[in-house]
Amino acid sequence: MQIIRSAGEMQAWALARRGEGRRIGLVPTMGFLHEGHLSLVRIAKAQADLVVLTLFVNPTQFGPNEDLERYPRDFARDAALCEAEGVDVLFAPPNEEVYFADHSVYLTESQLSVGLCGGSRPVHFRGVLTVVAKLFLLTQPHVAVFGEKDAQQIRVIRRMVRDLNFPVEIVGGPIVREADGVAMSSRNKNLDAASRAVAPRLSQALFAARDAFAAGERDLESLRGRVLEVLGDLTPGALDYLELVDDETLMPVRGVWQRPVLMALAVRFPGVRLIDNLTLKG
């Protein structure tokens, strides 16, 4: 496995491989890898000749008082996992290789990014789109794989790719969960004991609504009520949002609905914010 830290070197490598007719798969991450990330690597390996995994904690997607400094990091561990999984290039640039000191250009999206996490984190998707566009330009992928746990993120990225004509296929990887149902996340490491004990309720609540839906329930308010019932008292956490939105447009769904519905929620625990989701398909 090759480790590259220079933006110029990364782009030169990618352009050379494309010139040879090699198909490049990209897995963008912020590091502190877990089985969810590794599952995305396997998807990329099945769809490309070469896999590039990027490891970059992107400062522009963190707002004031968020967990940029507390975000877990362990480069040696991540590199070992990448090598064992057969990653061809680990691209781990320092900040100055990604952003100039006086950088002033950002990408924004004005529809899909407004609600859900965009409502709670107003600068988040501006930072996500900007860094993903830069990573696409630096790694020149044919296909890029993102986890469906970040449901809004993958939809916003697909919109960017469509609207800006990026020649990149976006592939989603299913949510990978801990044994107790908690969606795998690098941030799980920062949960205190009390928060970790409550965290399984996020998936339990969503699964309860899914089961009610499978049994024939179609009233969205009833499904929402079922989620809130199972969530119960989240102390020491607090519900950030629970939304039922169109799976494609992310617009709120009311009354009679014919298209798949994304049920998404976020909970704030001390120092950690967790998200989870599932799609109801009638």
Concerning whether 37 is annotated as a catalytic residue, the answer is yes
The candidate with the shortest Cα–Cα distance to 127, out of 147, 146, 111, 108, is 108
Single out the catalytic residue among 34, 37, 124, 142: 37
Tokens, residue 233: 């008292």
For residue 119, the SS3 value is helix
What's the rounded Cα separation, in Å, for the pair 232 and 226? 10
How many CB atoms lie under 10 A from the CB of residue 79? 19
Q: Which string of b and e fits 98-131 if b means at least 16 CB within 10 Å?
A: bbeeeeeeebebeebbebbbbeebebbbbbbbbb
CA 12 to chain centre: 27
Tell me if 156 sits within 8 A of 107, measured CB to CB. Answer: no
Tell me the catalytic residues: 37
